[in-house]
Amino acid sequence: MIVLALMAALLTGASHEEARYVMGTMAVVRAEAPAGETAVAAVDAAFAEMTRLESIMSTWREDTEISRLKAAVPGSWTTVSPELGEVLAAALDVAAASDGAFDPTVLPLVKTWGLRTGALHVPTPAVLDSLRQRVGYRLVEVAGNRIRFLRAGVELDLGGVAKGFALDRARSAMIATGATAGVLDLGGSLLVFGPRDADSVGIVAPDDPARRVATVQVRDACVATSGQYERYVEIDGHRYGHILDPRTGRSVDRRGSVTVVAREGWLADALATAAFVLGPEAGAGLVARYQGASCVFVSEDGRGGWVVTRHPRR
Ligand code: AMP
Ligand code: MG
């Protein structure tokens, strides 16, 4: 009965789609609902939620909750909003599972490399070595909505997980508003929900966004892609991008991309970043540890082209 009712709503219902700039990128949200005004309200609710989360989690602004955490005294607990506690706990889970390949304390490295200003600067080994004091997921603890840093100078960067988390919360807001189905695209991370046919999502060649090299089918899931191909600088044949390996302090010098599909947006997002740092073999091993998650690596084939590997293989 419920299924029939939902199908009837979809057949007779309305939809609404809007694009707005949020979380530093263009977002497109589409809602399906029994009535037009409900679809409009659901899209509004999704954007309101993403904007709210940005004001908590963005490290690009000084007035956000996460940026104000810098003032915390090492060793003492700070009460934060429940969302911040939750996303940090999720990030620390993937950090531990990936042995620190994913690390939400990467911000001091990101800043030192000049990745925030766009003026890339290759730090000396001595500088990278000194930053080890301030980078490491074991230097931060979370208990519910309380956070503490164990050392001075630790700074959080949730850029590898926040968009996926925001997609999860935006979906909840849409459902609470009465949406029956939706499609949310946040800067290339896509989340779809509701009784829709599976969506075919294209994975493009890392050197040519117009060329599709693979397709994934998504239904009630999120698909997130990580790679260095969108934002990077090349110096002396080395490619420096925005994804760093916190274990070495260096930018991951790897072409290609990894796409992860998972039910939860935060998980797809964090795993994509982690798997990119780890590379195809260890990355696929990490994704395999999460039930229902799958990944597609696009790697160099050594002849100027790309090779696609899927895990699990179908
Ligand atoms: P994504 O686009 O989801 O792969 O996330 C990349 C962003 O996450 C970067 O712009 C940094 O802000 C942050 N980041 C970079 N390297 C890491 C890492 N190894 N672990 C966690 N976050 C990272
Ligand atoms: Mg990510």
Q: What is the DSSP string of 200-227?
A: EEEEEETTEEEEEEEEEEESSEEEEEEE
Q: Is the CB of 103 under 6 A from ligand 1?
A: yes
Mean of the per-residue pLDDT values for the chain?
93
125 prior amide bond cis, ω within 30: no
C-alpha distances out from residue 225 to 188, 211, 297, Å: 7, 15, 10
The yes-or-no verdict on residue 235 having pLDDT over 90 is no
Q: What is the pLDDT of residues 9-38, one digit of tens each?
A: 455 689 999 999 999 999 999 999 999 999
Looking from the CA of residue 276, the nearest atom of ligand 1 is: 4
Centroid of ligand 1 to alpha carbon of 244 (angstroms): 7
Structure tokens at 208: 């040519």
| Ligand 1 pocket test target in 157, 158, 165 with most atoms within 8 Å of CB | 157
Q: What is the pLDDT of residues 167-224, one digit of tens each?
A: 999 999 999 999 999 999 999 899 999 998 899 999 999 999 999 999 999 999 999 9
Looking from the CA of residue 91, the nearest atom of ligand 1 is: 21
- Report phi then psi at 45, rounded to 5: -65, -40
Q: What is the pLDDT of residues 85-109, one digit of tens each?
A: 999 999 999 999 999 999 999 999 9
